[in-house]
Amino acid sequence: MATEEVDPRFADLDAWSMPSAMEAMWEGQLAAVAAVGRALPAITEAANAATEALGDRGRLIYVGAGTSGRVAVQDGAELTPTFAWPQERVHFIIAGGESAFVASVEGAEDDVADAVKQIDAARLSPHDVVIAVAASGTTPFTVTALQQAGMSRAVTIGVANNHGTALLTSAKYPVMVETGPELIAGSTRMKAGTAQKVVLNLISTGIMLRLGRVYRGMMVNMQVTNAKLKRRAEAMVARIAGCSEAQAASALAQTDGDIKMAALVVLGYEVTEAASILANHKGNLRRVFDDLS
């Protein structure tokens, strides 16, 4: 597999000067990001299918082991604070369980019985979207989990960095990002891990765009949990509704920090009316304004 090969160009990397080694590693990161471009059609197809399946009750379920698992956890963990994605609608199936979030769990990636157990416990439905990530594309835990998920008719997305591997052939929506040999053979925390993070960013953010959790480049579903985010929310409401930040702050107080409702309150709607309008448009502020214009 390419990610396990020693790249002859970097065989003596440990003997290079630090500036030269840093430049080579930086160039490797740039190449990893560039490699994602060739996978954009597959990434787009996967994001569209995920959006269609999720509706208002489906879950995003991340599967992985080792580095790939931790990259997946990072993406999923950011969905609630950024987009107010309900915590009960994001789930992690990670080799070794939660202890593997911050430490390596020996042998966990080969534990196919645990993969089956975790998938069964998740009680998947066709509304769920399972995103499995493995640089090699052959990790037994991850491949087994994805295959089991497919049997439950969940939408399955596989992200790997090697061609023709079991993870890709088992996924309904395979995403292959060819990052090639690592500068440090097998250290997929480098190029492969960077590419995986970009792919997951694109998929999850694309889903949130289509579900109306972003409006005019703003995180309008953001949870207001501290002073910095309160100021950001006030600025968003002021920009959307064309009002002062003081008016925005008053509206946010009336709507318990709900940015979209607050914008409608500033525009003259009662709180209950604003809530009803948003509900009728599935929370999509752009659709609201399209109908009101």
> Which class for 268: exposed (0-12), middle (13-18), buried (19 or more C-beta within 10 A)?
exposed
pTM of the model: 0.91
pLDDT along the chain (293 residues), means of 10: 74 91 93 97 98 94 95 95 94 87 76 96 97 96 98 96 96 96 82 96 97 94 92 97 96 96 96 95 93 83
- The residues assigned a catalytic role are 78, 109
Tell me which H or E stretch contains 67.
helix 66-77
Burial of 124-163, coded b for 16+ CB within 10 Å and e otherwise, reads beebbbbbbbbbbbbbbbbbbbbbbbbebebbbbbbbbbe
Q: Cβ atoms within 10 A of the Cβ of 167, count?
A: 29
pLDDT at residue 273, rounded to an integer: 96
Q: How distant, in Å, are the alpha carbons of 10, 175, 178 from that of 26?
A: 13, 24, 17
* CATH number attached to the domain at 2-210: 3.40.50.10490
pLDDT at residue 153, rounded to an integer: 93
pLDDT at residue 187, rounded to an integer: 77
CATH 3.40.50.10490 domain span(s) along the chain: 2-210
pLDDT at residue 133, rounded to an integer: 98
60-64 β-sheet, strand order: 90-94, 60-64, 129-134, 155-160, 173-176
Tell me which H or E stretch contains 132.
strand 129-134
CATH 1.10.8.1080 domain span(s) along the chain: 227-292
pLDDT at residue 183, rounded to an integer: 83
Gyration radius of the chain's alpha carbons: 22
Q: Tens digits of per-residue pLDDT, 4-50? A: 666 788 888 889 999 999 999 999 999 999 999 999 999 999 999 99
Domain 227-292: top CATH class: mainly alpha
Q: Tens digits of per-residue pLDDT, 243-275? A: 999 999 999 999 999 999 999 999 999 999 999
